[in-house]
Amino acid sequence: MNMDIFISYSREADNNIADKICEFLESNNVKCWIAPRDVVPGQYARSIRDAIVESDLLFLVFSNKVNFSNHVRRELDLATNYGKTIIPFKIEEVKPGPDIEYYLASMHSYEEISISLEKRLSKLLTDINNILNKIKEDSEGEKQEKDEEKEKVSRDFFKGIYLPTSEIEFLQELMSALNTSEDSIEIIKNEDDIENIAFNEIGIRLNEENRISGLGINSLKLKEVPKSILNLEKTYTLVLYDAGLKEFPEIICEMESLDFLDLSGTDIEYLPESIKDLDGIQVLDLSNNNINMLPKSMGTMEFGYLFLTNNNIISIPESFKNIHIISSLELDGNPVISNPDLRSRYILSYLETEDIFYDFKLPEISFKNIETDEKSRTKAEDMIYDYHQLNICKPSETYINTIKQDRIIDELIDIGYTAVDFLINEWLMGYEDIKPIAEEILDLILLNIAPDWREKYHSW
């Protein structure tokens, strides 16, 4: 794809001016990528990610709406992660909010909004071309260094290809572990074919240096991953689909170049704390395993996509309140979703991601055989009704809007760790005769949060 500029803007308000900027730049031979024009149908998030990776610059059309745009913030996050230059271009006299300012702190902003758009862009065009030329020069220098390095690497022929001997050593150990031969190895030209498992048994993809950049195993049983996998210093895509692994191969955590890791369809039950060392990972697929607990260290990680569907996960660690997932989290098919404890529900409500694939069904709450006046009973019924509305958790911005309802959850969590009287005196409007109803509700809810809460908090 190889674009010069990715144009980031608020789709809600600034599409007209973004289109004008794109038209001006392209008329001056600057190749641009802009949504929704260039999005691949049905692959919105992936198209955004790929476009940012393949572009040299991110051009930010900055307005007040940008301060409140989750999409723009994720684009800035991706651009920063991939070391892209960001050019902020103001179209309104407004300061960046704290979240946006974080990304722009060291960037030169183009703020002369008093002159016409065309004049501003004409002045900016020189800077853009200078930056693009500098990036091109640096890229050519890096290519020359790689060519020189390529000459230094010891190589030999494997399946008619001149590969580094260290990588051939790994492939030979892998074939031995899988009890297979060279005939089972396919040379894959398209990166997506590795990620989508479009090969029969073993697929490898080579980069321009004739180094293995992608490796895939499809439904071959592997007792353990050879330690020589660390010889694959340039591999950023690794797929071990249905590989029969009983344990997470910790040796993989030492592969610093990994960007895409698929361990789906194996028999992994446990994830080590060392998984945090995969700090460059963007896509992690652990679906269709037997994982029952997630390590605390995952809460310190950043992902583009995290797939955990169809496991046996029973709870979410507290650290997940800090996990950073840019585009998508999938959790369906786990006990923590079909029968969630309230703490997990609360922790997951902290996540800010484009798509959250799960549908919580919270425990039913009711009160039985409690004698009280009609007004008090109606108040309790209203509270229970509000609680029951929390069983819907939808993807994208619809979900973000429902977070207002989660104030109920926030308050109940606070109650569990501060004072039960808060519910009685404030949330239930001070109705003393609702105390027995509130007590029953708290018993049901707090049982999932702090089973010993009565011993700790018996202020009433």
What burial letters (b/e) apply to 172-200, b meaning 16+ CB within 10 Å? ebbbeebeeeeebbbebeeeebbbebebe
Identify whether 183 is part of a domain: no
Identify whether 79 is part of a domain: yes
Mean predicted lDDT score pLDDT of the chain: 76
Nearest to 260 by CA among 54, 437, 73, 46: 46
How many residues comprise the chain?
A: 460
Q: Which two three-digit tokens encode residue 212?
A: 């293995």
Mean pLDDT of 170-177: 94
pLDDT score of 385: 60
3-state helix, strand, coil in the chain (%, to 5): 45, 15, 40
Q: Which two three-digit tokens encode residue 319?
A: 């650290």
Confidence of residue 284 (pLDDT cuts 50, 70, 90): very high
Q: Where are the beta strands (DSSP E) in 98-184?
A: 155-158, 161-164
How many folded domains does the chain comprise? 2
Identify whether 10 is part of a domain: yes
Examine the pLDDT at 373 and tell me if it is beyond 50: yes
Q: What's CA 175's distance to the chain center, in Å?
A: 33
Confidence of residue 440 (pLDDT cuts 50, 70, 90): low
Tell me which of 110, 131, 150 is where a domain ends.
150
Examine the pLDDT at 91 and tell me if it is beyond 50: yes
Tell me which of 121, 150, 179 is where a domain ends.
150
Identify whether 395 is part of a domain: yes
Q: What is the pTM of this model?
A: 0.59
Q: Which two three-digit tokens encode residue 175?
A: 């074939």
Confidence of residue 452 (pLDDT cuts 50, 70, 90): low
pLDDT score of 381: 59
End-to-end CA distance of the chain: 66
pLDDT score of 398: 37
* Longest pairwise C-alpha distance within the chain: 87
Q: Please list the alpha-helical segments (H only) found in 305-425.
A: 335-338, 342-348, 374-388, 396-402, 407-417, 421-422
Confidence of residue 150 (pLDDT cuts 50, 70, 90): low
Round to whole Å and give the CA distance between 442 and 44: 43
The amino acid present at 205, given as its one-letter code, is R
Looking up residue 8, the CATH number of its domain turns out to be 3.40.50.10140
Q: Which two three-digit tokens encode residue 70?
A: 């989750």
pLDDT tens, residue by residue, 402-418:
443 344 445 444 443 33
pLDDT score of 50: 86
Identify whether 452 is part of a domain: yes
Round to whole Å and give the CA distance between 247 and 46: 30
Q: Please list the alpha-helical segments (H only) found in 305-352.
A: 335-338, 342-348
Examine the pLDDT at 375 and tell me if it is beyond 80: no
pLDDT score of 114: 65
pLDDT score of 108: 58
Structural domain containing residue 125: 3-150
Nearest to 348 by CA among 365, 366, 325: 325
260-262 and 237-241 strand pairing: parallel
Examine the pLDDT at 353 and tell me if it is beyond 70: no
The amino acid present at 331, given as its one-letter code, is L
Q: How many Cα atoms within 13 Å fall on the side-chain side of residue 256?
A: 2
Positive or negative CA dihedral for 190, 214, 220, 174?
A: positive
Identify whether 246 is part of a domain: no
Confidence of residue 439 (pLDDT cuts 50, 70, 90): low
Confidence of residue 103 (pLDDT cuts 50, 70, 90): confident
Positive or negative CA dihedral for 103, 279, 321, 69?
A: positive
Identify whether 186 is part of a domain: no
Residue 321 neighbours by CB under 8 Å, 6+ apart: 299, 347, 350
pLDDT tens, residue by residue, 380-405:
556 556 555 544 333 333 333 344 33
Tell me which of 110, 132, 150 is where a domain ends.
150
Identify whether 305 is part of a domain: no
pLDDT score of 182: 92
